Amino acid sequence: MTFITIFFIILGILAFGFFWMLKKITRRDEIWRSLNLRLFLVRLPKDIRKEEMSQEHAREKISVMENVYANLMSVHDSWWNTFAYGKPAFALEITTPHIGEEISFYAAVPKRFAESLEKIIHANFSSASIEQVKDYNIFNPEGVTAASEVKLMRKFFFPVKTYREISTDPLRSVTNVFSKLAREGEGASFQIVARPAPGGLKLKIHSFAKEVQEGRAKIRSGPRNKIIGFFEMMRETISPPSPQQEEAKKMKKLTQGEEELLKKVEAKTQKNLFEANIRLLASAKDEKRASEILRNLESALAQFADPTSNEFAINRVSGSSLKELIYKFSFRVFDESKKMILNSEEMTGLFHFPNIMLETPKVEFLKAKEASAPANLPSSGMVLGFNFFRGISSEIKLQKEDRRRHIYTVGQTGTGKSVLLKNMIRQDIESGEGTCFIDPHGDTVEEILGYIPENRLDDVIYFNPADTARPLGLNMLEYDQRFPEQKTMVVNELFSIFQKLYGAIPESMGPMFEQYFRNSTLLVMDNPESGNTLMEISRVLSDSSFRELKLSRTSNIIVKTFWEQIAEKAGGESALANIVPYVTSKFDTFLANEIMRPIIVQEKSAFNFREVMDSKKILLINLSKGRLGELNSSLLGLILVGKLLIASLSRTDVPEESRSDFYLYLDEFQNVTTPSIATILSEARKYRLDLVISHQFIGQLEENIKKAVFGNVGSMIAFRIGSDDAEFMEKQFQPVFSGHDLLNIDNFNCYAKLLINGKTSEPFSMKTYPSGQIFRENVEKIKELSRLKYGKPREEVEEEIIKKHS
């Protein structure tokens, strides 16, 4: 073997080793670049306009994406990083993963440009949501993948059709392919990896256009190769063309078709140029289906074909080339050998965010808009949740002074209202505040019992009517005898309660009922010592001797006159014997009930409501309709709210600044409020009774209560609601949010319009925090402590009832 042969063998080995190492280093650098990318899911609100916009208007909206591309021209790196790792690129993708069916729009940029990307997108799409996410997976692990590379059919300076030349939004054809994928086992992606083109390209095209106009180049031939151009220049130097030849070149005119094509070439250079790779991938359970999906994606690119200029050429890959393409797709690698030159207008046609009406199903739009929190958020107070907008998180707090103007929340079941209420109640409990929660379902109050810290166990009053062994007394007729004017308030509230309960039969609550009810109740209350419960109202009407006893002890001349001069002397249909069943039938439903009777016939309520408020107790009410029945639950709730209102109004004997705040939480508040809610909303804040009212839909409210709420409440929080409510609530949250937003907001997200320093804020979006940890070890202990402290053995209650009637 000769020396020369050995030399070339060694040289070949060294060359192979060099290129092998170069490939390894290149792969390492590609992976480094990929791991340094940040992937963002970009979602826009769905355009729900009823009328189709004009083509021109649609194109103007699509053209906004050109501004994004113009700003992406700034994606470049230092000369050292460019030398070491290559020029940085960005990726844009339309994708459906192999599990799931949403069509998502992604953008990926190097880490150092992540913040810039967010700013660029928000500057052009103000309502967009940009969320950094983990990578997705389109590949069916047990299936087959098919893929294609896309290149230009002709030379790069000839443009393809753009969105301005296509009659419909080009996205429709592309996204329609994705919309037909199966929910599981089929995935696909349309990927563009791009980077700004070298600045010299524009100059090269301009020079070519000039040469064509001067007759020195043919439009279809394209710019001359540098080497060929050099030799042509040398030839012309040695043997210059004659003046006649030069003139003939200049005189030679382009055809109309060539002139049009030259205009298109020149127009391409008027926009920013990019080097781009386009990849199409499809994955399915078998090769036939994967190939079908890919073929449909390839067909969607046919709309960009311009027979007079350029079109896309599709190269279906297989074998090792397929593996290489999957690798480059997965790591978002820019392939120098597969690049083509596109301008920002061409890129916009291929990929733009869906900011106009797109009827393709399954596109992942932003379900509901988001808006930033007010700049003047308080730094202290009750934490309601947090606002996350454009990468900035702000905690939302409500000051005590603003809470006194009450909080209203509305939302469908399961949307997050209860989580918000629980978080608020927990904070009140932990900060030592007085609070009451009336729960119509019973589940939430059980959880709240698990929030009670050791230092507040003695403050809890747990009122559970279903505990029939030790019922807690609740006497609506009880009043503070130091303030006899409370009698009228009690009677009015009790009458409103029965109007509420029997409102479905308005004729049963007419003037006659009211007259007998008021005079019976006032007669009973005028002498509490001889009996002062709902049972005594029935006795006054039906038992003449008991009525005589009460009349002998009353000092109310109006009541006495009614009974002696009107009721007992009336005849016919108005005779007392005929009226008694008409009135007592409303009470007997409750007096005959085994659960209700031991509660409402106790002369003394288990706790003093004024004392509960003043000493900051924790009053937890379990009015589970499943255990009590809806009518009984409503009666007890109405009585409790009424007594709290009366107790708060009695605070006139204490200076306003000395009144401690008491927070009353009412879930499904429409069931436990009478028209007196207007008084609470407008007046009770002076007496430091602060409401948090919640329900599911506005149709549950009577018109007078609805007006009272929306006319007086200070802060509003809306979770997802139905279409009828969205139409009404839209007026409260305009112009920031629409009815569509209110219909589509996700669970545990809401829109808020809060009182901040006495002024109503602009509406903004808010997320609730998860419920805190529940400590169940104290729950049974609290229940037992409360029932022993405030309950009364049922046997004793029944004995007292028997004594009254003996």
> How much is the average pLDDT of 242-263?
66
Domain 25-200+267-350: CATH architecture, name and number where available: 3-Layer(aba) Sandwich (3.40)
Residue 135 backbone class (left: φ over 0; alpha: ψ -120 to 50; beta: rest)? beta
396-436 pLDDT, tens digit each: 999 999 999 999 999 999 999 999 999 999 999 999 999 99
> How much is the average pLDDT of 527-538?
90
Residue 139 backbone class (left: φ over 0; alpha: ψ -120 to 50; beta: rest)? beta
The Cα 297–Cα 295 span in angstroms is 5
Q: Which residues contact 649 (CB under 8 A, 6 or more apart)?
A: 489, 683, 684, 687
The Cα 597–Cα 798 span in angstroms is 9
Q: Nearest 5°: CA angle at 472, between 471 and 474? A: 125
Average predicted confidence (pLDDT) for the chain: 87
Look up residue 671 and give its two tokens: 């069931």
User: What are the DSSP calls for 118-180, one per residue?
Assistant: HHHHHHH-TT-EEEE--------TTSEEEEEEEEESS-TTS----TTTSSS-THHHHHHHHHT
492-523 pLDDT, tens digit each: 888 888 888 886 666 666 788 888 889 999 99
The Cα 226–Cα 208 span in angstroms is 12
In this prediction, residue 484 carries a pLDDT of 83
The CATH fold of domain 399-473+605-806 = Rossmann fold (3.40.50)
Phi, psi angle pair for 765, to nearest 5°: -90, 150
Asked if 543 contacts 524 with a C-beta cutoff of 8 angstroms, the reply is no
Look up residue 162 and give its two tokens: 């753009």
In this prediction, residue 251 carries a pLDDT of 46
Strand pairing class (434-439; 460-463) = unpaired
Q: Which residue has the tokens 């393809």?
A: 160
> What is the distance between the terminal CA atoms of the chain, rounded to a whole angstrom?
133
Phi, psi angle pair for 292, to nearest 5°: -65, -45
- 345 band by pLDDT with thresholds 50, 70 and 90: very high
Return the amino acid letter for 716: M
3-state secondary structure of 44: coil
Helices of type H across 477-533: 486-501, 511-525
- 223 band by pLDDT with thresholds 50, 70 and 90: low
Look up residue 720 and give its two tokens: 């997802």
Q: pTM score, two decimals?
A: 0.79
Return the amino acid letter for 535: M
Q: Of 275, 105, 98, 117, which Cα lies nearest the Cα of 174?
A: 105
Q: Do domains 25-200+267-350 and 399-473+605-806 have the same CATH topology?
A: no
The Cα 367–Cα 174 span in angstroms is 22
587-639 pLDDT, tens digit each: 888 888 889 989 999 999 999 999 999 999 999 999 998 888 888 999 999 99
Look up residue 428 and give its two tokens: 């009140």
Residue 180 backbone class (left: φ over 0; alpha: ψ -120 to 50; beta: rest)? alpha
Tell me what percent of the residues of the chain surpass a pLDDT of 90: 57
In this prediction, residue 629 carries a pLDDT of 87
How is the chain split into domains, by residue range?
25-200+267-350, 202-243+250-258, 399-473+605-806, 475-592
In this prediction, residue 228 carries a pLDDT of 46
3-state secondary structure of 752: strand
> How much is the average pLDDT of 15-29?
55
375-384 pLDDT, tens digit each: 999 999 999 9
Residue 362 backbone class (left: φ over 0; alpha: ψ -120 to 50; beta: rest)? left
Q: Of 28, 155, 183, 196, which Cα lies nearest the Cα of 98?
A: 183
Residue 560 scores a pLDDT above 60: yes
The Cα 236–Cα 227 span in angstroms is 14
The Cα 780–Cα 438 span in angstroms is 19
Other C-beta atoms lying within 10 Å of the C-beta of residue 141: 8
Phi, psi angle pair for 441, to nearest 5°: -110, -35
Q: Which residue has the tokens 């797709």?
A: 329
